[in-house]
Amino acid sequence: MKQGVKWMSDPRITRMLQDPRIMRAVMQMMNVPGKVQSFTSEQVEKLAKTMNLATEDEVRDLKRHVRRLEEEMSRMDRQRNQG
């Protein structure tokens, strides 16, 4: 049996993993990276607003809006040149 997997067959580990408190703690630990990412993103957004800076989402929305306006202008130019 491989050394890395050997501990999984230990009956003490099996018993421990059956304890709902342990499983709840493991699940909470697995959620930590997502919570940290979310907290960090919120703090960056708050800082950006405090400093009157555009957030990444706001810049993305603005680019999308500008692209739509450019497409509309192109369509209007084509219509004007045709008629």
What digits encode the pLDDT tens for the residues 21-80? 998 998 999 999 999 999 998 998 899 889 999 888 899 999 999 999 999 999 999 999
Q: Is residue 1 helix, strand or coil?
A: coil
Q: How far apart are CA 67 and CA 75, in angstroms?
A: 12
CA angle at 64 for the pair 60 and 70, rounded to the nearest 5°? 140
Matching residue, tokens 């450019």:
70
pLDDT of residue 4: 61
Q: How far apart are CA 83 and CA 79, in angstroms?
A: 6
pLDDT at 28: 92
Give the pLDDT band (50/70/90) at residue 3: low
Distant-in-sequence, close-in-space partners of 45: CB < 8 Å, separation ≥ 6: 55
